[in-house]
Amino acid sequence: MWTSRPDGGPGRLLALADGVFAIAITLLVLDLYVPRDLEPDEYQEALRRVLPDLGAYALSVAVLGSYWRDHRRIFRGVREVDAQVVGLSVVGFGVAALVPFPTRLLAEYGDQSLTVAVYAGAVAALGACHVAIAAVLARRPWLRHGTPTDATTPLYLLDSATIVVVFLVTVPLVFVTGPAIMWLWLVLVPVKVYLGRRLQTRG
């Protein structure tokens, strides 16, 4: 049974989050490379080969950027943190720092079902950490300021859980349908837009 003991403000935790997400996004760039001194035909072929890297890079930047923004959004109304909030955040940071690895796999072995499952599992794990943090803070008003924020509402938790569900469902389905199941991730675009507008309306 967890005992919530406030342990200072969230400033240092947010600073750590900024650093972790910045480093993770920077690591994604390091895999983008075209050799020097190539002939014109070789140069064009090298650019063609780097396209999957760019696609995986763009996807992971969107994922990490979204979760960085959501992490700050969750803590917008937080006055203090406790050991459980810190622990869940650190687990989330660990998963975020790991994202460059499945991104590299997706760029080089995107036609393999196992690769898609590993990437989807990593994103789902990162999302689960964020949902857990938001749920814990929503149930502990003594850690928050008096004014409620949208991050403490059931609609926000539903919005955050949507990503987790979609990516988690991908893990078993990819072994049945193949890597093309990645297109299912596009479902998140209209869903997130709709739920985002609902949150803004309620706000």
For residue range 163-203, list pLDDT tens digits in order: 899 999 999 999 999 999 998 888 888 877 777 777 777 65
Q: CB neighbours (10 Å) of residue 27?
A: 16
* In contact, 169 and 125? CB cutoff 8 Å: no
pTM of the predicted model as reported, rounded to 2 decimal places = 0.88
Region of 113 on the Ramachandran plot (φ > 0 left; ψ -120 to 50 alpha; else beta) = alpha
Q: How far apart are CA 155 and CA 177, in angstroms?
A: 31
Residue 178's pLDDT is 94
Torsion of CA 21, 26, 30, 34, to 10 degrees: 130
Residue 183 DSSP symbol:
G
Q: How far apart are CA 81 and CA 133, in angstroms?
A: 10
- What residues pair up with 78 in beta bridges, in sequence order? 144
| 115 sits in which H/E element | helix 113-138
Q: How far apart are CA 98 and CA 24, in angstroms?
A: 8
* In contact, 92 and 130? CB cutoff 8 Å: yes
The percentage of residues in the chain with a pLDDT greater than 90, rounded to a whole number, is 51
